[in-house]
Chains A and B, each alone.
Chain A
């Protein structure tokens, strides 16, 4: 029936060709794995270019523009350079763990791509516990920093690792709490089902607070400004990867760039409707385009933010997490849970998969989220004012006399 062999019908194709069923199955899986795992490897080369170009534009520079058209081959040249750089292992380093860390750094990010639904048909593995898989794999990333910092035999690396671990552990809490909301609304942990549940309404409209929390926590998890304490050059020189050189250092960097993109991709999948868009049911390949566009919006917003804002201090970072994000996330979970039950009780829950059927529930949840945001903003404002008044009482500012305006018109 199928004339052309592709990844979609590879098993059948191999069976027709007289390969035993088990082997055909294994080959199909292997083909799929290599395909899915190659995508991030290829994208990361262009991600670095995009990131440098956008940072350059924000800072009124040109960015890379010498190697290849528009400097597109700059990252390739960098990779070649890194390949030929001497790889130095410092004395006293724990060699096995020291070499393991960059591999973990890269592998953990690639592993997340296994569960990302690109189109209605294309997904690595549609696990029934996709979200849990993401949380589990993403938290392995913390290990790489600990072992890199610990095995380098360098005090800066160790101090950087301590701080980074504290940051990553802390921001995992609001990250995972914000993931509870889509799970609650969609009633599933599978990524493909999660996207399908957003067919008539994206979760970002039902749970804007959770979406913002997810974005902020991901900025911290991926070490992006204003939370880039992982690489605080001015304080700990570079942090956990200070002793790495050559391609091992390159693996940390590539993993970091890719993690930022993967986080944007997940935000697009979980909150912005993933591959949903016009005609995607008829032409599944369009899903790639829609998902790409949505990811680009989130990703480029993060990039502009990164090159705009300064870095926060470690105490500010921890205070922001434990005193703001965690309480707000917990309140958000409870408010959403309550509103979902209220919506159910008064009969506003969507009966069909239609856009208008989802509208009442969305409005109720949106209002709940807005009230929460307003409450937080009010508390912030009042505390800020109290702080300012206390500061002014402690250090009174000497006001100069009002300047005399010479030749003022009137009076």
Chain B
């Protein structure tokens, strides 16, 4: 029952947490003036009219960082159970973790040597 209660709390919290910021934004809609016009709503970019499409292509560098992040993120997901049960593992548990981390750290070193970490 207690466990169910904890998760029920999180469930209700998720609902309430969305309501809290919604209230002042909605309140502002009631209180604040609302007189849109074309010039007011135009995009502000350094005082001159905006040129071309906004949704530009972005640098490949972001993809590379994203990929390296993904490697580490997945690694960490697997490391959490290892860390949690660590006190119950024997010495072999340490070597298992070492090998696992080594293979993924390898990827970082590879990316580093290939200059993937440089901001170009």
Chain A residues near B (Cβ < 8 Å): 25-26, 29-30, 32-34, 36-37, 41, 79, 82-92, 99, 102-103, 105-107, 110-111, 114, 124-128, 131-133, 150, 153-156, 158, 162, 165-166, 169-170, 172-173, 176-177, 180-181, 183-184, 187-189, 237, 242-243, 246-248, 250-251, 255, 314-315, 318-319, 322-323, 326-327, 330, 333-334, 337-338, 340-341, 344-345
Number of interface residues of B (CB under 8 A): 70
In the complex, 24 of the A-B residue pairs with CB atoms within 8 angstroms, ordered by the A residue number, are A26-B12, A29-B8, A29-B12, A33-B13, A37-B17, A87-B32, A90-B43, A91-B42, A91-B43, A103-B21, A106-B20, A110-B21, A114-B10, A127-B10, A131-B80, A173-B69, A181-B83, A188-B84, A315-B118, A318-B119, A330-B101, A333-B83, A337-B86, A338-B94
Are the C-beta atoms of B65 and A169 separated by less than 8 Å? Answer: yes
Whole-angstrom distance between the alpha carbons of A128 and B73 in the complex? 21
Contacts of B73-94 to chain A: CB distance below 8 A: 73, 76, 79-80, 83-88, 91, 93-94
- B110 within 8 A of partner (CB): no
Q: Does A155 contact B69, Cβ atoms closer than 8 Å? A: no
Cβ–Cβ contact A124 & B13, under 8 A: yes
Nearest to B120 among chain A residues (CB) is A315
**Contact call B17/A165, Cβ cutoff below 8 A:** no
B80 touches A180 (CB 8 A): yes
Contact A173 B44 (CB under 8 A): no
Contact in complex: A132, B54 (CB < 8 Å): no
Instruction: Choose among B35, B36, B62 the residue that contacts A162 (Cβ–Cβ < 8 A).
Output: B62
- Known A-B contacts A106-B20, A189-B84, A319-B119; A90 and B42 likewise in contact (beta carbons under 8 Å): yes
Q: Given the complex of chains A and B, what is the CA–CA distance between A180 and B80 in angstroms? A: 7
**A337 in contact with B97 given A153-B54, A162-B62 (CB within 8 Å):** yes
Known: A36-B13, A102-B25, A114-B13. A92 touches B54 (CB 8 A): yes
In the complex, A37→B76 CA distance in Å? 30
Whole-angstrom distance from the CB of B5 to the nearest CB of chain A? 7
| Interface SS, A side | helix
Question: Of B12, B44, B54, which one neighbours A33 at CB under 8 angstroms?
Answer: B12
Does B114 touch A at the CB level, under 8 Å?
no
Which of A102, A173, A237, A318 has the most CB atoms of chain B within a 10 A radius of its CB? A173
Cβ-defined partner of A86 (8 Å) among B35, B46, B101: B35
Q: Which residues of B contact A337 (CB under 8 A)?
A: 86, 94, 97-98
The answer to whether A91 and B38 touch (CB under 8 A), given A85-B32, A180-B76, is yes
Contact of B28 with A85 in the complex, beta carbons under 8 Å:
yes
Least Cβ–Cβ distance between B31 and chain A, in angstroms: 5
Query: Are A37 and B20 also in contact (CB < 8 A) when A85-B32, A154-B43 are?
Result: yes
Q: Tell me the nearest residue of chain B to A345, going by C-beta.
A: B91
B109 to A, closest residue via Cβ: A327
**Complex CA–CA separation, A26 to B9 (angstroms):** 9
Q: In the assembled complex, which residues on chain B have CB atoms less than 8 Å from the CB atom of A338? A: 94
Across the interface, name the chain A residue whose C-beta is closest to B24: A247
The distance from the CB of A400 to the nearest CB of chain B, in whole angstroms, is 37
Whether the pair A82, B28 counts as a contact (CB closer than 8 A) is: yes
Residues of B within 8 A of A315 (CB): 118-119
